[in-house]
Structure 1
Amino acid sequence: MITEVEAIFRRWKESSDPTKARPWPFRPQPRHDELLSSWFLRAAQGLELKPYTLAHMTWQSTPPVLTRDIDNLADPRVVGGMAAKTDTPIDRAWGTTLAAFDGSLVESYVPGGRNAWVLQLGVWHRIRNLAGLQFCPACLAETAYFKRAWRIGFVTCCAVHGVKLLDRCGECGGTVEPHRSLAICSCSRCGADLREGARVRAGRRVVKLQAHASAILARGWGYLGENIFSWSHLYFETLRIIAKALAHGPRSEALRRVVARRYGGDPSPFPWSSGRSLEHFSVHDRYRLVDLVAPLLKEWPTRLVEACREARMWRSWIIHDDPCPPYALASIVNEHLSLGSYKPSEVEIRAALAYLDRIGGPISKAKLVRLIGDCEAVDAIMQVEANNRL
């Protein structure tokens, strides 16, 4: 994808059309961890143009660029055009997209599709039906731009200010749609200032887990207990499987209650209207979920195994729908949370035969199987006993 962006960048810079080749008079550079959409909106604001007007003048696409989730779509034409118009290096421009998480957050990113831990906006024409863009009111007050981290599902609080993130306007409850707002920090529906949103202190263990996960995402590898994840996406897949076990399924309520009783947290059920996708949860529900996951990752894997056993959450309930779970989790689940089929030992089989002999009557395999169960050793021992009697 980066090579496509670079090719488009070159075509824009070398175009004979001066409207394409000439950079914008206002050329903002992406800020730390800034989203592509936020970067574009700052450029439109600096050029004193409406976002839709600037997008049409630059790309003239149908459907219009801003009717889609450009952060998730990561269209090389848009990224390349932004790089050319602002004289920004290709790698830095590409780093504003969510697709730049390819190989780190997920094994293989699907531009424009559904990706694990990437929040969905539910775009329908120009309306966003899902609250997939989060924000920290304190950060907006200081820097006035939206961060890529605010589109990640396990990120539910601000690491800088230690407060819970918001995903809706505090006045009207509307989703955050800065491309339709008069200003980047205002609500598109009621005009309220998002910077005035409630600042609620986040719990310590949620902040700590998020900081650990964010560090793993940044360096591309991580650890959980004594398990080393050479590729960070395996850690995030493990994290998501545990979160799903707590959120959905017939045994999830029992597991939540066990965790809440042992370590605290809110075991309330999660709304089924959100479906089974964690990426559709509100920030409030995901915060509750992360708060339940956090204690299970401590003393790995002892706490997870003990809680699952008490809740009778066995292997089939944890990784039943995952064809290839990370080995670090699968090995633990297979060893400690697999019921398996019981096979009687040779000593137990001979003891059962002796019991049948004492109570009298003919000894048959059917009687022995009803008493102790069946296995390959039963036939062999029955044959030996029959030969001995003969």
Structure 2
Amino acid sequence: MSPAETYEVEFLDAEVVEAPRLPARVTPFPDEALASWLLRLADPFGVSPKALLLGDGEADRATHPEWWRKPDPLLIAAVARGTGVSDDEVRALSFADWPDDGRDDALPERFSRQRFTVERPARQPRRIGVCPDCFAEDDIPYARRTWTLGWLAACPIHGTVLVRACPECGKKLRLPALSSRDHFAPDRCPHCAFRLARTSTRAAPEPVVRFQQRVLSGRPKGIVDLPEVGVLAWSVAVALFDVLLGTV
């Protein structure tokens, strides 16, 4: 090619698409899980929360099915930017500030005999327990953050045993994926649409409720304060619970 045939070429950076800021604000409810809030927020638009709020740069960091438990700081910033709430408000809907990786919090029925009846407990993402009494009191049904803790056995408000399977069809209850465009109705079974607020409840034993409250109070700091034992690190307490459960 001769010099006369050369021409200038301008190189342009690939455009990174950012999600727009939404025109309306949806206020999170007390103890609402981040996944629940995002699903409620996206529901009127008929699109998934992931498509609505995350741009190209953030979507790559949201591949884990439960990224909302301990979201990446860039995802927190993207959600805050798109919804008009503060980063701190978004973080408070998750377990981002809790120490360690949260593996024991995510495992369904963490402190149960399944730890000793199977070689490795199955990873079952988005499993949840619900309180029918809470749903019955809700003007707008939503999923509580504490309900997503695999070791939580009873509702901290009503002291009733959490329901983890639909009483009508027997299917395990799960939160929808944040890539879902389906209508969000957390108070209904996702399989048979049974209204979970109609489920009969039973009171958890009072010692269980008191013990659970101790665990729940210390968990955000990574400790458990046990009567006549003292303060234990979360990892030590988990190991102790496993040993005790293995003897029964």
With normalisation by structure 2, the TM-score equals: 0.71
| 8 Å CA contact 1:29, 1:86 repeated in 2 | no
Q: Counterpart of 1:246 in structure 2: which amino acid? A: L
Structure 1 residues 65 and 221: alpha-carbon distance in aligned structure 2, compared to 1, 3 A threshold: closer
Does 1:159 pair with 2:156? yes
Q: Which position in structure 2 is the counterpart of 1:319?
A: none
Structure 1 position 130, deviation (Å): 5.7
> 2: distance between equivalents of 1:220 and 1:200?
30
Report what 1:134 is aligned to: 129
Name which of 26, 29, 46 aligns with 1:50: 46
State the match for 1:176 in structure 2.
173
Tell me if structure 1 keeps the 8 A contact 2:218–2:224. yes
Tell me the CA shift for residue 86 of structure 1: 1.9
| Mapped partners of 2:161, 2:237: distance in 1 | 20
1:109 aligns with 2:81: no
Cα distance in 2 between the residues matched to 1:188 and 1:199: 20
Specify the alignment match of 2:239 in structure 1: 241
User: Displacement of 1:51 after TM fit?
Assistant: 4.5
Give the SS at the match of 2:225: strand
For each residue in 1:225-264, what CA deviation from the matched residue of structure 2 results, as whole angstroms up to 9, or x when unmatched? 45543xx6x1x3343223212333xxx2xxx2xxxxxxxx
Tell me, yes or no, if structure 1 residue 193 matches structure 2 residue 185.
Answer: no
2:61 and 2:87 mapped to 1: Cα distance?
23
Aligned length: 212
The root-mean-square deviation of aligned C-alpha atoms, in Å, is 3.3
Which residue number in structure 1 is paired with residue 6 of structure 2? none
Distance 1:191 1:41 in 2: 17
Q: After TM superposition, give the deviation of residue 89 of structure 1 in Å.
A: 1.5
For the 8 Å contact 2:161–2:201, the answer to whether it is kept is: yes
> In the TM superposition, what is the alpha-carbon distance from 1:219 to its structure 2 partner?
6.5
The alpha carbon displacement at 1:162 in A equals 1.6
Specify the alignment match of 1:119 in structure 2.
Answer: 107
Q: State how 1:271-350 maps to structure 2 within 5 Å.
A: none
Alpha-carbon separation, structure 2, partners of 1:213 and 1:135: 19
Any unmatched runs of 5+ in structure 1? 1-16, 103-107, 122-127, 257-390
> Pick from 70, 79, 83: which aligns with 1:82?
79
Specify which of 87, 94, 118 is matched with residue 91 of structure 2: 94
Q: CA, structure 1 residues 92+166, in 2 after alignment: closer, same or farther (shift >3 Å)?
A: same
The residue type equivalent to 2:68 in the other structure is D
CA distance in 2: counterparts of 1:213 and 1:196, whole angstroms: 29
The structure with higher relative contact order (CA 8 Å, sep 6+) is 2
SS at match of 1:223: strand
Structure 2: distance between partners of 1:93 and 1:171: 34
Task: Give the structure with the larger helix fraction.
Answer: 1
Instruction: Assess if the C-alpha contact under 8 Å between 1:99 and 1:109 holds in 2.
Output: no
Larger radius of gyration: 1
Question: Which residue in the other structure is 1:202 paired with?
Answer: 204
Match of 1:125 in 2: none
Letter in 2 for 1:55: K
Letter in 2 for 1:166: V
